[in-house]
Structure 1
Amino acid sequence: MTIRLILPITVLALTSLQTLANEVNTSATLPYQVLTTLTNGTEIRNGGYGSAMTAHPSFGDHFYALTDRGPNAKYQGPEGKGKIFPTPEYTPRIGLFRYSNGQITKVKEILLKDPQGNAVSGLPNPKGMGDTGEVAYANDKSVLDTDPYGIDSEGLVALKDGGFWVSDEYGPHIVHYNQEGLELERINPFGTGTGGRKLPAVFANRRANRGMEGLAITPDEKVLFGIMQSTLYNPSKKTITNKNLTRIVSFNIETGKTQQFIYQQEANNLSNSEIVALNQQQFLVIERDGGFAGGKGKKQAKYKRIYKIDLHQATDVSGDVTSPNGLRVNGKTLEQMSWQELANQGIKPVTKILVSDLLVDMPTPYPHDKLEGLWIRNNNQLAVLNDDDFSVAAKGEHVIQKVLPANQSIDQNTLYILEPK
């Protein structure tokens, strides 16, 4: 049975979830600039701020939004499967925005930098440092260099001291930046980052382009929680059988202690693209597919949902954190076990309750493919934001304009405010 609920008036009420339903009160687009225009007329826009969104710790009408690695499109090139980066010099960045009187203005942007203060790129990492097997190509199809500090940034936490934590899809990395965007620490499964601390080794089995998509921090700013976008290829793509199991990892910032929990998606190969803490044990999570409202066939959207999850009864499935496959049961990894097998072993996923289905609760179904940003605004509203992919998509070997099937408009970062009825 599906339970449909609405957002209550306070964060405290959000944790208890009174029975009401969401409606969209208003929407507004984020400002953008044209980075470049390709010879086929495609505008590459900056833009691109929807990979994550989080509240400003002090100002209720301000929010931060994050770009990913930069404009890119799928490409099967002579050196292997990868991505075309039409603007490879692009630096991933954090934008600070103000929402007031139905309008959004950009206050400033913070470019991400390595420990020496050099702007980083969004290009893939070298082997052994977060390499996913993706080859980076320039627009002329030549092969680009790797970047040891490159980041495909997807999750964002804003701290009270002005700094940030960012999670990504390469390593996956969790990176601590100061208020100027300077890297202070980089945590990954390999121990190759600044400071050398590690995530559990099993996370190196992340699927390319589906790494640590969401990042949250507890209200006391002591523990980070990262959620993987999709099922780990653990031990390999060919051998996994449970394709709707994703992992959540916690990281105690002071001690480095980690815990792991599993999350059951509604269908195979969906995406968990954001997580926001309500308290130490309860979170809001986005679960979505890659389709569009008005899309055809496999591109038809079915899942654009926000769930409240609870860790209270969930099993810590950490096992040996140094093992490349993590916890095994009867010789199987968790990704090789059915939900019934897991239950038989007493392994429980996080509990989840549907908060909002944006394909049903909005006056017109949510038109974007990538629902990725989630902001608890002024304690009584939720806001969501899409990743517009810098307004570009791929068609064969070409980069083209990204257009929404529902209304034939160019995709653009759009903030939707959800309020109680």
Structure 2
Amino acid sequence: MKRQLFYALAAMAAFLPVSCASTSKAGADSTSPFEKVGLNGSEVSYTVLAKTNDGVEIQNGGYGSDACAHPTDSSLFYLVTDRGPNIDFKGNSGKGKMFPVSSYAPRIGLFKMNKDGSLSLVKEITLKSPDGKEITGLPNPNGKGATGEIAYDLDGNILGTDEYGLDSEGIVAMKDGTFWISDEYGPHIVHYNAEGKQIERISPFGMDTGKRHLPAVLARRRANRGMEGLAITPDEKTLVGIMQSMLFNPSKKEISNKQLVRIVTFDIKTGSTKQYAYIQNKETDSTCGITALSNTEFVVIERDGKFSGEKEAHKYLFKIDLKDATDITGENPESKDGLLINGKTLEQCTTEEIEAAEIKPVKKEFLVDLVEYLPNKYPHDKLEGLWILDSNTIAVANDNDFAINVENNQLVQKKLPGTGRIDNDVIYVIKLPRSLR
């Protein structure tokens, strides 16, 4: 598995404009640059972070794990990477993840939508520990959010862990310049200052936070299926996070309801939490993004992991409402099981049992399937980020996994099927037929 990496000049500092211009035919009198993006999209620029001796490019991009609006400037928005370039890998010590650039620091990108519909990277913020050192995306150690994943380097050697490591998946930008980011390890919700330095880390374990922590039941997340989306209510009082998939609660072998996903709210001032049940259309789907319309209404991504052209590929957007949903926290938010029905966890109960217990999930209203809506059938496999532009316009982002994939336990280029083109990060603008509010 020996491979040599050749690092691109200035790969960690600069982004080159690569096919950023939109091919939309919006009129010259458009007032918003987002209108010029249209349904064909605008690509996010990148540099080549590294290249294997087989010619596989590892892009210093990877933006699209989530997105959020800039809180005060409508021409700006943020994209966040996940833990960095990685692929599924089976090494001598078992299944895990290969990190071909193990020192990579997860980061936030501030982007501007230009008047011609192209994108510019304004600023890049790497995430840092409380002492200001750049973190990595390597797994957390035991007791700090460990998922059991083994981290390997490009040569198949076992890497260490990182106490402050983050598999960042959800982002919120606050008016005071700080950020909240959710992840798939702990799961954690981490507060970072404007320079990316950690202020507070909140998890089901209570690490670094005293009495402020997430519900203990969330520690039973599936590995690599943690808190995939994060939103903030318009009053900036409450964080709202959504898990990607069902919990293994109490264990993988004992669950029966594979469509039940938990949404958690976190009161920033008091640290109090609530939980709600979101029912996926298919148990194989992932909920991969959430953004707020009001203090109770949100838009959510629910998708499969298929490329367009594959059977039944879909990328759904739903409008949801928490207002009449039942809080499923139970009497003790520190219970590892959460609310029980006749001695069983919710994940052990059928939908009929949950209904009989008068537990109401969040209301869902279908908005659009991007595979059906976009002229290019949304060619990407991962729809993960979204933010609201106006009352009937949504912008979305995909995660291209740093343009790498895995085949036969080997690192390969990630390409769009049938085209030979590398899967890049692309922003699309979606006009809905009616108002969201």
TM-score (norm 2): 0.88
TM-superposed deviation, 1:78:
1.9
Match of 1:337 in 2: 349
Partner residue in 2 for 1:415: 427
Q: Which residue number in structure 2 is paired with residue 171 of structure 1?
A: 186
User: Shift of residue 313 of structure 1?
Assistant: 1.5
Tell me the distance in 2 between the aligned counterparts of 1:257 and 1:373.
26
Tell me how far 1:80 sits from its aligned partner: 2.2
Distance 1:412 1:244 in 2: 30
Corresponding residue for 2:313? 302
| Residue of structure 1 in register with 2:265 after alignment | 250
> Hey, what does 2:86 align to over in structure 1?
72
Give the secondary-structure state (helix, strand or coil) at the position aligned to 2:335. coil
Correspondence for 1:157: 172
Q: For 1:45, give the aligned amino acid.
A: Q
Deviation string for 1:57-103 (max 9, x for gaps)? 11111100000000000012222221000000000000000012210
- Superposed CA deviations along residues 16-44 of structure 1, whole A, max 9, x for unmatched, are xxxxxxx9544100000100001111000
Are the structure 2 counterparts of residues 57 and 379 from structure 1 closer, same or farther at C-alpha, using a change threshold of 3 Å?
farther
Match of 1:105 among 109, 120, 144: 120
2:283 maps to 1:268? yes
Amino acid at match of 2:395: A
* Equivalent residue runs for 1:120-135 within 5 Å: 120-135=135-150
Residue 364 of structure 2: aligned partner: 352
Is 1:290 the counterpart of 2:301? The answer is no
The amino acid of 2:234's aligned partner reads P
CA contact (8 A) 1:231 1:269 kept: no
Distance change in 2, residues 1:407/1:111 (3 Å): same
Q: Is the 8 A contact 1:207 1:231 kept in 2?
A: yes
* Counterpart residue identity of residue 55, structure 2: G
**SS at structure 1 position matched to 2:372:** coil
How far apart, CA to CA, are the structure 2 residues paired with 1:86 and 1:392? 10
Is the contact made by 2:49 and 2:60 (CA closer than 8 Å) also made in structure 1?
A: yes
The amino acid across from 1:46 in the alignment is N
Identical columns (%):
54
Indicate the residue corresponding to 1:81 in structure 2: 95
Instruction: Provide the secondary structure at the position in 2 that maps to 1:238.
Output: helix
Paired residue for 2:340? 328
Compared CA separation, residues 213 and 241, structure 1 to 2 (3 A): same
Residue from 217, 224, 247 that aligns with 2:232: 217
* Alpha-carbon distance, 1:418 to partner: 1.1
* Alignment counterpart, residue 27 of structure 1, candidates 41, 44, 51: 41
| Deviation of 1:303 (Å) | 2.3
Q: Tell me which amino acid in the other structure corresponds to 2:44.
A: L
**Mapped partners of 2:298, 2:88: distance in 1:** 33
**What code does the residue aligned with 2:296 have?**
Q
Alpha-carbon contact 1:276-1:374 (below 8 Å) kept: yes
Q: Secondary structure at the match of 2:253?
A: coil
Bigger RCO (CA 8 Å, 6+ sep): 1
Task: Output the aligned Cα RMSD.
Answer: 1.3
**What does residue 400 of structure 2 align with?**
388
CA-CA distance at 1:398 after TM superposition: 1.0
Q: Secondary structure at the match of 1:359?
A: helix
Shift of 1:325: 1.0
TM-score normalized with structure 1 length = 0.92
Task: Decide whether the 8 Å contact of 1:382 with 1:417 is kept in 2.
Answer: yes
Q: Deviations over 1:315-351 (max 9, x none)?
A: 1000121111111111110001111110000011101
Structure 1 counterpart of 2:296, from 263, 274, 281:
281
Alignment partner, residue 8 of structure 1:
none
Identify the residue that residue 50 of structure 1 maps to in structure 2. 64
Structure 2 equivalent of residue 367 of structure 1: 379
Give the match for residue 196 of structure 2.
181
Amino acid at match of 2:260: L
- Comparing 340-349 with 379-388, which one deviates more in the overlay? 379-388
The residue identity in structure 1 corresponding to 2:396 is V
* Cα contact 2:263–2:275 (8 A) shared by 1: yes
| 1:182-222 superposed Cα distances (whole Å, 9 cap, x missing partner) | 10000000112355621010000000000000000111111
Distance 1:303 1:260 in 2: 27
Match of 2:76 in 1: 62
Gap runs ≥5 in structure 1 = 1-22
Distance 1:150 1:125 in 2: 6
Shift of 1:371: 0.1
When residues 195 and 412 of structure 1 are mapped into structure 2, their CA distance, relative to the original with a 3 A threshold, is farther
Q: 2:328 aligns with which of 317, 320, 323?
A: 317
Q: 1:281 to 1:193 in 2, by over 3 A?
A: same
Shift of 1:364: 2.7
- Please identify, of 47-56 and 398-407, the stretch whose mean Cα deviation from structure 2 is larger: 398-407
Contact 1:272 1:286 survives alignment (8 Å): yes
Are 1:308 and 1:354, in contact at CA under 8 Å, matched by a contact in 2?
yes
Could you say what secondary structure the match of 1:360 adopts? helix
- Equivalent residue number for residue 13 of structure 1: none
Provide the secondary structure at the position in 2 that maps to 1:263: strand
Task: Return the offset for 1:269.
Answer: 2.5
Offset of residue 420 of structure 1: 4.4
Contact 2:40 2:374 in 1 (8 A): no
Structure 1 equivalent of residue 15 of structure 2:
none
1:341 alignment partner, SS class: helix
Identify which of 43, 51, 70 aligns with 1:37. 51
Structure 2 partner of 1:10: none
Matched to 1:58, the amino acid is T
CA distance in 2, matches of 1:224, 1:403: 35
Q: Compute the displacement of 1:378 (Å).
A: 4.5
Preserved CA contact (<8 Å) 1:186 1:195: no
For structure 2, the residue ranges without an aligned partner over 5 or more in a row are: 1-36
Name whichever of 48-57 and 402-411 sits farther off: 402-411
Aligned partners of 1:161 and 1:395: how far apart in 2?
44
Residues 229-240 of structure 1 aligned to structure 2 (within 5 Å) = 229-240=244-255
The alignment partner of 1:250 has SS state of strand
